[in-house]
Amino acid sequence: MAIVSTAEFKGGLKIMMDNDPCTILSNEFVKPGKGQAFNRVKLRNLKTGRVLEKTFKSGDTVETADVVDVEMQYLYNDGEHWHFMQPQSFEQYGAEPAAVADAKQWLKEQDICIVTLWNGNPIAVTPPNFVELTITETDPGVRGDTSGGGGKPATLETGAVVRVPLFIQTAEVIKVDTRTGEYVSRVK
Amino acid sequence: MLAAVRRFFDQRGVLEVETPVLSRTGATDPHLVSFTTRLHQPGSHGAALPLLLQTSPEFAMKRLLAAGSGCIYQICKAFRDEEQGRLHNPEFTLLEWYRVGFGLTDLIAETDELVRSLCAPALPLAAPEVFAYRDLFRQRLGIDPVEAGIETLVQCAVTQGLPEAEELCGNNKPLWLDFCFSHRIQPELGRGRLSFVRDFPAVLPSLARHKPDCPELVERVEVYLAGVELANGFHELQDAAEQDRRFEADLQRRRLAGMDVPPKDGRLLAALDAGLPDCAGIALGLDRLLMLRQGARDLTEVLAFPVDRA
Higher pLDDT, B234 or A104: B234
Q: Which of A34, A41, A42, A57 has the most B C-beta neighbours within 10 Å, making it the best mutation to test the interface with B?
A: A34
Higher pLDDT, B184 or B206: B184
Average pLDDT for B234-238: 95
Whole-number Å distance between alpha carbons of A95 and A80: 9
Flag whether pLDDT at B205 surpasses 80. no
Give the model's confidence band at B145: pLDDT under 50 very low, under 70 low, under 90 confident, else very high. very high
pLDDT of residue B30: 87
Give the model's confidence band at A33: pLDDT under 50 very low, under 70 low, under 90 confident, else very high. confident
Instruction: Phi first, then psi: give them for residue B71, nearest 5 degrees.
Output: -65, 135
Distance from CA of A28 to the nearest CA of B (A): 7
Flag whether pLDDT at A141 surpasses 70. no
Give the model's confidence band at A146: pLDDT under 50 very low, under 70 low, under 90 confident, else very high. low
pLDDT of residue A150: 73
The closest CB to that of A32, out of B85, B229, B283, belongs to B229
Instruction: Count CB atoms within 10 A of the CB of residue A73.
Output: 17
Whole-number Å distance between alpha carbons of B190 and B228: 8
Cβ atoms of A103 and A109 within 8 Å: the answer is no
Tell how far CA B146 is from the center of its chain: 21
Residues in contact with B110: Cβ distance below 8 Å, sequence separation at least 6, in sequence order: B99, B102
Flag whether pLDDT at A145 surpasses 70. no
The closest CB to that of B168, out of A28, A35, A57, belongs to A57
pLDDT of residue A147: 56
Facing residues of B195 across strands? B129, B224
Q: Which of A17, A36, A51 has the most B C-beta neighbours within 10 Å, making it the best mutation to test the interface with B?
A: A36
Most confident of A119-133, B25-39, B276-290: B276-290
Whole-number Å distance between alpha carbons of B93 and B285: 6
Cβ atoms of B148 and B216 within 8 Å: the answer is no
Residue A130: how many CA atoms within 13 Å on its side-chain side? 9
pLDDT of residue B259: 87
Mean pLDDT (chain B, rounded): 94
Cβ atoms of A155 and A135 within 8 Å: the answer is yes
pLDDT of residue B45: 78
Average pLDDT for A168-181: 92
pLDDT cut 70: percent of chain A above it: 95
pLDDT cut 70: percent of chain B above it: 100
Flag whether pLDDT at B95 surpasses 80. yes
Question: Each residue of B102-130: pLDDT tens digit?
Answer: 999 999 999 999 999 999 999 999 999 99
Whole-number Å distance between alpha carbons of B79 and B89: 9
Do the Cβ atoms of A55 and B205 come within 8 Å? no
Mean pLDDT (chain A, rounded): 89
Average pLDDT for A150-165: 90
Average pLDDT for B95-108: 97
Whole-number Å distance between alpha carbons of B167 and B62: 39
Most confident of A31-40, A159-168, B3-12, B172-181: B3-12
Whole-number Å distance between alpha carbons of A44 and A42: 7
Average pLDDT for A153-166: 92
CA angle A64, B85, B116 (to 5 degrees): 155
Contacts of A32 in chain B (CB under 8 A): 31, 178, 181-182, 229
pLDDT of residue A36: 83
pLDDT of residue A149: 63
Following DSSP, what letter does each residue of B225-252 receive, concatenated?
ETTEEEEEEEEB---HHHHHHHHHHHHH
Residue A17 CA: distances (Å) to CA of A2, A22, A65, A68, B166: 14, 6, 9, 17, 17
Question: Each residue of A79-105: pLDDT tens digit?
Answer: 899 999 999 999 999 998 888 888 889
Contacts of A56 in chain B (CB under 8 A): 168
Q: For the ranges A108-112, B68-72, B76-80, B113-117, which has the lowest average pLDDT?
A: A108-112
Following DSSP, what letter does each residue of A104-125 receive, concatenated?
GGG--TT-EEEEEEETTEEEEE
Do the Cβ atoms of B88 and A31 come within 8 Å? yes
The closest CB to that of A54, out of B164, B174, B206, belongs to B164
Instruction: Phi first, then psi: give them for residue B307, nearest 5 degrees.
Output: -55, -30
Q: What ipTM did this prediction achieve?
A: 0.81
Flag whether pLDDT at A143 surpasses 80. no
Flag whether pLDDT at A18 surpasses 90. no
Whole-number Å distance between alpha carbons of A178 and A173: 15
